[in-house]
Structure 1
Amino acid sequence: MNPIVNIFIYSKILINPKNQSILMNASLHALSGSPLRCPAHRPSSLEQKAGRFTTAEKQLGKWSVLLLLFLFPFSLSAQAQPALEWNKTLGGNLREYLYAVKQTADGGYIAAGVSNSAVGGDKSQAGNGNNDYWVIKVAPDGTRQWDKMYGGKGTDELKEVFQTADGGYLLAGNSTSDAGNDKSQNDKAASGGIRGDYWIVKIDAAGEREWDKTIGGTREEILTDAKQTPDGGYILIGTSNSAVSGDKTKAGTESWIVKLRADGSIQWDNPIEYIHKSNIDPTQDGGYIVGGNTTNVPAQDYTDSYIIKLSPNGRIEWSTVFNLHQSELMDVHQTREGQYIVAVKTETPGSGIPYLVIKLGNTGIELWRKVFTTSTANDDFKLALIRQVIQTADGGFLAGGYSDSPAGADKSEDSKGGDDYWLVKMDADGNKQWDKTIGGPGQDFLQTMELTRDGGYILGGNSDSPTGQDKTEASRGEADFWIVKLAPEFNNKLLSFSANNLGFTVTADSSVPAQSVLLVASSGTPQVTLSKSASSSWLTLPSPALGTLSFNVNAAGLAPGTYNATVNAIAPGYAGATLNVLLTVVPGNQLTTVRINAGGPAFTTSDGRVFSEDRYFGGTDRIYYIPDREILYTTDDALYRTERSAPSFSYNIPVVNGDYVVVLHFAEIWFDSPKGNAGKRLFNVDMEGSRKLENYDIYAQADDALAAVEEEFQLKVTDGVLNIDFSKGAANLPTVAAIEVIPKSDFTRTTLTLPAVADAYVHTYFPDENFGTADQLIVKSGEINISRQTYLKFPLTGISEVTSARLRIYGSNVESTMKVNTSAYSVDNDAWTETAITYNNAPASSTWPLARTTVKNVPGYRVLDVTAFVQSQAEGDKVVSIMLKNPTSVNKKLIFHSKENPSGMAPELVVTTRKPVDNSFRMSAGPGLKEEPDNQKSNASTLFPNPVKKQFTLGLSSRHEGAVSLQLITRSGKLYDVKATEQSTASARKQVDLSGLSLARGMYLLKIRSGTATEVLKVLVAE
């Protein structure tokens, strides 16, 4: 009898709707006793990482084989992507720029560049001048072993590093320093001339200086590249402005090549005219290939890429010009077959600045060229810049550089912050196999990369990113070295923690119980190393091992605040695992607010609330997101575009015991089309062991898809951990977009349902007749003299800091079953009255609608999002007037209930504010006012009118102080600087003029930035 196999699948799943392929690098257990079961999945692409674990797995204690699971069609190209093994941030308190990283004989790495930081961070020595050479040696797992500074009193820029035959290193760069400190010779510039020479430093295996050489003429030399030669010497190349003088024996004022022996003495030198920004690589015949840029091309008035083949003694054998418009050659290497591979930066019409890779034969004849483009999204400022191309172990090629572009064209992943490392892997014929984006929330610039002896890659560059995305350590200063080790392609060996996050909340000088996670390897029993990020002495690491690991924190001496640490688990040849640890120290028994962006990165709302990146979750680690979709009833769309969604998951949030209000944020972003999807998702939510939501339906609560809705709950925590459990109900999967945990004493939110103080319709056939006392409101348009529009008025007395506003009208199409458009338009003139308004005296409305809905023959409430307009009126004259009409002229009558209708289903405005409403307004609002408490204070800027034609008035939030800058941002990210003038003596109100900009009709973002705050508002440009 064949045994029945039960397969448990553990994975982290990231669903990207941009393609419908699936890749799961899953871990499978085979146990006898029950049939094969697979969890339900939506048909979307998956990105594999470490996963969640069940009780059965924890008891088993190890994983078996990794398999590729064919649940749905998947992309084979994604399968080969190398996993991130580890990454290291290295730097001081100011700026470090990495130019080279090389693997060393002991399996570790040597990284080299420049620094102007003081002692601190990873720097053990102070500098000598403006910039100095900085070299740092790390172990095979990235652990820092030693660092050294070398320099004089001037500016010293280290460009390359090599390990020498004796186990030491040679450092190559340029310097303006005279003799002193680490420099033994003066700059060779003539008196009063431009300074700068090549500067070579030889150090031993421990980083101690053995000798140095200053090489140059009487003017300026700047080294651009250097390589070790097969004879143990070195070849240097750069630019020279010197005539024959000093070490320069031949005339020529552009590129200058210098061949050195192993002891640093000059073997020969040779200038090359008309080539600059050059790089060099030794060739198999003892010669050299030189790549650079030239402007000396007949009939061209722009820079072109140029390569030259040199003999062993530096004489030109052949050359090639690529005839590319405004190009810059970035890298050239000889392949193992004796041919040449070239990386070029070039501007391509319609494609921005793509990666360009060219393959040449052994005599310089072009064999093929490949262009890899990114999605510019109609914005030429979102680009890619290639830095290097290398041959890979399988005979293909890897191009590397950086890009801030979103997914699109040849780029399969969105930017992770600003610029990110971007790799493109090709086969031997230049056909793309895969691409990979690696980065943190800030700016990350790849400078160099190298094939490692295990078939993986070492990447080096510069970063100002904090912890987040792929970056596991915090920034040390303004810019740091960032080194990334990638495992070999097709490597299925990985480490994984059973949770991505641990959180501790303690009072000052107290202790809390340890917390444990499981560390497992997908196969084998590798020797594991654990390390933690800098400035985390409060976290005690367990002994490194597979299995259950217990982590402790010690808050003694720590000031109240939040402390972050990153724990990295690595093993040779394995993709590493990362654990984020958060320590929150609170004074005494003070309760603190926790906000989490479920499934997403850290996010700050327009009113200043800070949501952390997703943490404290357990269960199936499954995330879904949508890009660039409008979310109703919020100005913080990005908060609702990501969600945690899985058959079951939980949040276990450490808090100080006490009374809290929990606010759950939802939006139906999966079932977004067609509309009318109530009942498609029904799920349950439990808190502290008590059922809070039963078969909850997001769509039904919001009355729409892609619409924000919040639910709040009051509860008491007594065990130091708030437990929130999400489970399947009658349909589909549970989901949540964000979570707020707020001390009850700090919770303030008010939701008011405001009745209309005036409502009436006007009629084109009876232009002077008033219909204000009718029990119905009519909307119709079509044939001449039949059109009717409805006017509504609501008071906002005592209301400010509005966060959302929804207009609710009850009615139906009484003439057919078709759905008819009903749109809401803003009305600036509030002087009309219910008993006097007619078609002839009705105030004008905006030309572009605030919102629209459809009305069919089934009576019911229709909801329109009028948040932006109500916000502007709350900060203005405290009155909201809205006109309803059908802009499509379908000639169907829509009837809505007026405030005179006995049904009681009168028009109403549901307003949410994060500020208490004045008592005087509560007393005067009358019996129609309905109020319920809600959450936290808001203070956002407002603008009116919105939609905008040419000008609008901006009401600045009190959070802004001093000078304010404004930028209008297109959907593609293009920026327009706009200016504002004061509209009145009140500096908080400014007039903004857009008439000088050529803007298409549509939605834009207005970024408002001051010395004290930054916020973003939506602007709808009508024409």
Structure 2
Amino acid sequence: MLVCTVFLLLIYSCWRAPQARAQVLPRQWDRTLGNAGMNTLNRMRPTADGGYILGGQVDPTPSPDVSQPHHGVIDYWVIKLDAQGSKQWDRVLGGSSDEYVIDITQTADGGYIVGGWSRSGASGDKTQPSRGGIDYWVVKLDAQGRTQWEKTLGGSSNDYLTTITQTSDGGYLVGGDSSSPVSGDKSAPVGGPWLVKLDASGQKVWDRTLPGIKTGGLVALLPTTDSGYLLGGRIANTSPTGNLDFWVIKLSAAGQPQWELSVGGSDDDLLHALCATPDGGYVLGGISYSGASGTKSQGQRGQGDYWLVKLDALGTLQWERTLGGAGKDDLTSLYPDPDGGYLVGGYSESGVSGEKSQHSLGQADFWLVKINAAGQPLWDQRFGGSGLEVLKDAFPTSDGGYALGGSSTSDVSGDKTQPNRRLGFPNIWVLKLGVAPPEVSLPAVAAVCAGQQVTLTPLVKSITSPLTYQWSTGATTPTLLVSQPGTYSVTVSFPGGKTATAQRQVLPFAPALRITGDSVLCGGLPLTLQAQDAAAVAYRWSTGATTSTLTVTQSGTYSVTATYSGGCTATTTQTVRAALLLPAFTLGPDTTICQSQTLLLQAPPVAGATYRWFDGSTASTLLVKEPGDYSVQITTLCESVSMRRRVSVAPCLTIPNIITPNGDRVNEQFVIQGLTGNDWELAIYSRWGQRVYASSAYRNNWGPGAAPGAYYYTLRQTTTGLTYKGWLQVTR
């Protein structure tokens, strides 16, 4: 049993909307059907084999798409498509005048029931005479489109069929509007909505004319779970202008009224569709020209908006929703989706505005909006070409996609891949949409810290709402609270058996917090500590400061606590010590020492200082024995200072200027005090320049036996070149 029904007239007009996000539903195929004359679609329904049954009208203009002969001016045109959109068969049905298909659906036996209205008498496919001006005409087809029976119903005036449905007993309930008095098949004189119950063979069981004048009349009929019916239409409200409101009436299985309700605003609100809901209630859909007024709580988006009204099983208003853009948006189709939401369809003249998230392709486009069970828009998408597209039906398909049917004046452009049979004239256009595989991802989250939690929230990219969540922990909630690091995964299931899985590693909290800057107060001068961690969002020092830097003037231990996104914290410390500056000092002036002597170099002793002499030694003193440049580097917590001193070495000799070699064993020899080593050369000359003595390694042994007198000497150290010269007196 179909749970949604719509009444659609071919209306061409102009119209604009984005709060729902745009989807990109991939086009699987589209078909253009018709001739170069007058042909339009009024109804498209799914069939049990995965295909589609289409009902519309066609004029006599020849076309390869129309396989049967024409009968009158306008005839019923019934087309069967397979799941890929290929035509399986078509049927032209009619009499000598006009016949317009209004509704068609597949029946329990696999055939089809076609309903519309006719001006013809007995002619062509019509075996019964006209009852009056315009009559209901119902045709039952088998699965191959062959006529099994047909029925003309009406009174002496005009009777317009607007809806037909199969009932649980295998018969049919036909509804429409009648202006006929008691005559023909009509048993009550009241004008307005007229219902006719037929049995399975098309014989009338009863008829009812609903009391009261319902301006605009009956537009939709919905079987209910108690074997009754919900009828929907339009009623003039009680305002001085008499504008139209949505109107519904609940009937028992016998056609007796149980309750009725009208809802609307201060302007016209035109019902087009009814849909049953899983909770036993109903959703009404149509176009609203009203602002916020009456039972309509939301203002106008533009020149006409989609308006949806949710009722419970007793007709109590639960919620209502306005959807649209800045132009005209006319809701013509309303179907349940397997995920509990609803597929709302119509045609739109709006550009990007309101709830419409995509620009227009032409004068008007098909416009789909997916809403959840509470009426909130989830996504929207438009389809069309450069001309005018008017949607009649849009419904979910068994493969998880969607089928759309309507009329189009567009040539090849936009989403339309096949040319119209006559440019600027309407043809039937059917569009099949696939569904991109659902995608699920788990966004990165902050690392988890001890005693706290992070939340894993799947991001779902799908045109249908998720049905279930299955986490690797066993949880089945839409989100997961995580208190321990690890790898977590979630599998999300969708209608049609589709699933998608995502995985995310949650890391343990590992802060990189550190304090940089000097840790020693030198000579009482202040220093700056810097807290550093790129991931931190706030700091608090042990002093109460909340900046990332801290100026320190006293020694002590300082700490800083960093706070991170997600609420984690980390603390680190820095100890600051005080240190004095080095006193002024030197190693002394450059100096010369005697050979075999030593010199102690002394650096100032400073607590905590380190010393490094030029030779690598690290004491604060250095014993010097050799000539050279001596340096030391003193390093403290605050500074590093270098000092140097040059030390020269020279022999320290005592050379006598007289000797007395007289045998008394005193001052007998030329003894030079301080003479060390074997590298001293001595030469002695007489006063007349005659060399009287020479030694290359003098040992203080010249003198005995020397004649009294004056002598000249030269003393030279061969290794250094150091030379001494002078006069020596020998006396006896």
Tell me the TM-score range normalised by the shorter chain.
Answer: 0.5 to 0.7
CA distance in 1, matches of 2:163, 2:238: 24
Q: 1:205 aligns with which of 120, 143, 146?
A: 143
**Distance in 2 of aligned mates of 1:282 and 1:388:** 17
* Counterpart for residue 485 of structure 1: 432
1:402 maps to which of 340, 347, 356: 347
Partners of 2:60 and 2:73 within 8 A in 1: no
**Structure with higher RCO (Cα < 8 A, 6+ apart):** 2
The 3 A distance-change label for structure 1 pair 481 and 149 is same
TM-score, normalized by length of structure 1? 0.39
Distance 1:84 1:139 in 2: 16
User: Structure 1 residues 403, 89: closer, same or farther in 2, change over 3 A?
Assistant: same
Inter-CA distance 451–260: structure 2 relative to 1 (3 Å threshold): farther
- In structure 1, the residue matched to 2:195 is 257
Q: CA deviation at 1:448?
A: 1.6
2:103 counterpart of 1:103: no
SS at match of 1:371: strand
Pairing partner for 1:421 from 362, 366, 384: 366
| Partner Cα distance (2:437, 2:224) in 1 | 31
> Does structure 1 retain, via aligned residues, the 8 Å contact 2:268–2:290?
no
Question: Relative to structure 1, is the Cα distance of residues 88 and 268 closer, same or farther in structure 2, using a 3 angstrom cutoff?
Answer: same
Q: Percent identity?
A: 37
Structure 2 equivalent of residue 244 of structure 1: 182
Report how far residue 488 of structure 1 moved. Answer: 4.3
Report the CA distance between 1:455 and its aligned residue: 3.1
Structure 2 partner of 1:123:
66
Residue 438 (1) aligns with residue 438 (2): no
Deviation at 1:186, TM superposition (A): 0.7
Partner Cα separation in structure 1 for residue 287 and residue 164 of structure 2: 21
Residue number in structure 1 paired with 2:80 = 137
**Number of the residue aligned with 1:393:** 338
> Which of 319, 330, 352 is residue 272 of structure 2 equivalent to?
330
- Aligned partner of 2:403 among 431, 445, 458: 458
Match of 1:366 among 298, 314, 317: 317
Contact 1:127 1:149 in 2 (8 A): yes
Q: Distance in 1 between matches of 2:94 and 2:202?
A: 18
Structure 1: distance between partners of 2:123 and 2:20: 58
Question: C-alpha deviations, 1:145-203, integer Å up to 9, x for none?
Answer: 111100001110111112223322111111010001100001011xxxxx111101112
Give the ranges of 4+ consecutive aligned residues of structure 1 lying more than 3 Å apart after TM superposition.
75-79, 296-300, 488-492
Name the CA distance, whole Å, in 1 between partners of 2:204 and 2:307.
Answer: 36
- 8 A Cα contact 1:221 1:240, kept in partner: yes
Counterpart of 1:101, as a letter, is: M
1:589-626: CA deviation from partner (whole Å, max 9, x where unpaired): xxxxxxxxxxxxxxxxxxxxxxxxxxxxxxxxxxxxxx
Give the aligned residue type for 1:233: G
SS in 2 for 1:269: strand
- C-alpha distance in structure 1 between counterparts of 2:410 and 2:218, whole Å: 29
Q: Deviations over 1:914-939 (max 9, x none)?
A: xxxxxxxxxxxxxxxxxxxxxxxxxx
Letter of the structure 2 residue corresponding to residue 283 of structure 1: T
Whether 1:83 aligns to 2:26 is yes
SS in 1 for 2:162: strand
User: Post-superposition shift, 1:490?
Assistant: 4.8
CA distance in 2, matches of 1:234, 1:175: 19
2:230 to 257, 265, 289: 289
Superposition deviation, residue 299 in structure 1: 5.5
Give 1:267's match in structure 2, choosing from 191, 202, 205: 205
Partner of 1:476: 421
Q: CA deviation at 1:300?
A: 5.6
> Which secondary structure state, in structure 2, belongs to the residue aligned with residue 121 of structure 1?
coil
1:113–1:159 Cα contact (<8 Å) kept: yes
Aligned equivalent of 2:248: 307
Q: For structure 2, which runs of at least 5 residues remain unmatched after alignment?
A: 1-16, 292-299, 440-495, 497-732
C-alpha distance in structure 2 between counterparts of 1:488 and 1:289, whole Å: 33
Q: How many Å apart are 1:327 and its aligned residue?
A: 1.2
Q: Point out the structure with max Rg over C-alpha.
A: 2
Instruction: Read off the aligned partner of 1:169 and give its amino acid letter.
Output: Y
The residue identity in structure 1 corresponding to 2:161 is L
CA distance in 2, matches of 1:416, 1:298: 38
State the SS of the aligned residue for 1:413: coil
Shift of 1:491: 5.3
State whether residues 118 and 126 of structure 1, in contact with CA within 8 Å, keep that contact through their aligned partners in structure 2.
no
Partners of 2:249 and 2:98 lie apart in 1 by: 31
Q: 1:179 and 1:327 mapped to 2: Cα distance?
A: 39
| Residue pair 1:289, 1:334 contacting (<8 A) in 2 also | no
- Counterpart in 2 of 1:151? 94
CA distance in 2, matches of 1:443, 1:121: 23
**Is the Cα contact below 8 Å between 2:364 and 2:384 reproduced in 1?**
yes
- 1:160 has 2:103 as partner: yes
Determine helix, strand or coil for the equivalent of 1:102. Answer: strand
Aligned to 1:343: 285
Over residues 394-443 of structure 1, what are the superposed CA-to-partner deviations in whole Å (9 max), with x where a residue is unaligned?
11112111012111111000111111001111111111100010001111
The letter for the 2-side match of 1:257 is L
Task: State how far apart, in whole Å, the 2-side matches of 1:417 and 1:299 are.
Answer: 38
Q: Which one-letter code corresponds to 2:363 in the other structure? A: G
Task: Report the alpha carbon displacement of residue 344 of structure 1 after superposing the two structures with TM.
Answer: 2.5
Residue matched to 1:875: none
Specify the SS of the correspondent of 2:419. coil
Whole-angstrom distance in 1 between the partners of 2:223 and 2:435: 26
Q: Write the distance in 1 (CA, Å) between the matches of 2:239 and 2:384.
A: 42
C-alpha contact 1:333 1:342 (8 A) present in aligned 2 = yes
Q: Partners in 1 of 2:436 and 2:305 — Cα distance?
A: 24
Report the CA distance between 1:115 and its aligned residue.
0.7
Give distance in 2, aligned partners of 1:300 and 1:94.
Answer: 39
TM-score (norm 2): 0.54
What is the Cα deviation at residue 487 of structure 1? 2.4
- Cα distance in 2 for partners of 1:162, 1:277 equals 18
Report the CA distance between 1:445 and its aligned residue.
0.3
Per-residue CA distance 1:810-856 (angstroms, 9 max, x = gap): xxxxxxxxxxxxxxxxxxxxxxxxxxxxxxxxxxxxxxxxxxxxxxx
CA contact (8 A) 1:114 1:133 kept: yes
Please give the alpha-carbon distance, in whole angstroms, between the structure 2 residues aligned to 1:296 and 1:418.
Answer: 32
CA distance in 2: counterparts of 1:475 and 1:239, whole angstroms: 34
2:559 alignment counterpart: none
Judged with a 3 Å threshold, the aligned counterparts in structure 2 of structure 1 residues 454 and 231 are, in CA distance, closer, same or farther, namely farther
Contact 1:331 1:387 in 2 (8 A): yes
Q: Is the 8 A contact 2:22 2:358 kept in 1?
A: no
Q: What is the CA distance between 1:77 and its match in structure 2?
A: 4.2
Report the Cα distance in structure 2 between the residues aligned to 1:472 and 1:336, rounded to whole angstroms: 38
Q: Measure, in 1, the Cα distance between the counterparts of 2:155 and 2:237.
A: 24
1:119 to partner: Cα distance: 2.5
Contact 1:93–1:121 at 8 Å: present in 2 too? Answer: no
SS in 1 for 2:67: coil
* Aligned partner letter, 1:224: T
Q: How has the CA–CA distance of structure 1 residues 409 and 296 changed in structure 2, closer, same or farther, with 3 Å as cutoff?
A: closer
Question: Structure 2: which amino acid aligns with 1:363?
Answer: L
Aligned to 1:450, what secondary structure does the other structure show?
Answer: strand
Task: Return closer, same or farther for 1:269/1:489 CA change in 2, 3 Å cut-off.
Answer: farther
1:226 equivalenced with 2:173 (yes/no): no
Supply the distance in 1 between the matched residues of 2:20 and 2:209 (Cα, whole angstroms): 49
Structure 2: which amino acid aligns with 1:113?
Answer: G
Distance 1:373 1:299 in 2: 27
- 2:288 and 2:22 map into 1 onto residues whose CA distance is 27
Unaligned runs of 5+ in 1: 1-17, 20-74, 190-194, 377-381, 493-572, 574-1023
- The alpha-carbon deviation at position 101 of structure 1 amounts to 1.1
Separation of aligned partners in 2, 1:344 and 1:161: 20
- In the aligned structure 2, how far is the partner of 1:491 from the partner of 1:101? 27
